[in-house]
Amino acid sequence: MPDVIWSVLIDPHRRAMLDLLRERPRTVGELVDALRLSQPTTSKHLRVLRDGGFVQVARDAQRRVYTIDPAPLAELDAWLAPYRRLWNDRLDALGRHLDTTKEN
């Protein structure tokens, strides 16, 4: 699990960007408007997302259109996988308990 995945995701603005890009690709200007950040700050966050492999860029004249790339998030999902049984076990036990008590 590379540290860079976490260092990218720790920033709330970058997570907000991913939330927006999950819906559809957007230009830098759209993101600036949506996030109420300055344009340079937005561009810097996009740089971090790019370097981390979370987004890809396409040119459209002067505009740059950013698209989400889910690969690093899939890695995060894989990291989380072995923990998942910890709460699934609990829920299973709860479910069994409820099923059992319902029979009475």
Residues that bind a copy of itself (CB under 8 A): 1, 3, 6-7, 9-10, 12, 15, 18, 22, 68, 70-71, 73-74, 76-77, 80, 82-84, 86-87, 90
Give the dihedral sign, CA 32/36/40/44. Answer: negative
Give the three-state DSSP class for 55. Answer: strand
Measured from the CB atom, the residue of 33 and 89 that comes closer to a copy of itself is 89
Q: Does 57 bind DNA (CB under 7 A)?
A: yes
Of positions 23, 40, 100, 102, contacts DNA by CB under 7 A? 40
Q: Does 45 bind DNA (CB under 7 A)?
A: yes
Phi first, then psi, for residue 58 (nearest 5°) are -130, 140
For residue 66, which of 78, 83, 80, 52 has the smallest C-alpha distance? 52
For residue 6, which of 46, 66, 52 has the smallest C-alpha distance? 52
Q: Give me the residues that bind DNA (CB under 7 A), please.
A: 7, 10-11, 13-14, 27-29, 32, 37-48, 57, 59, 61-64
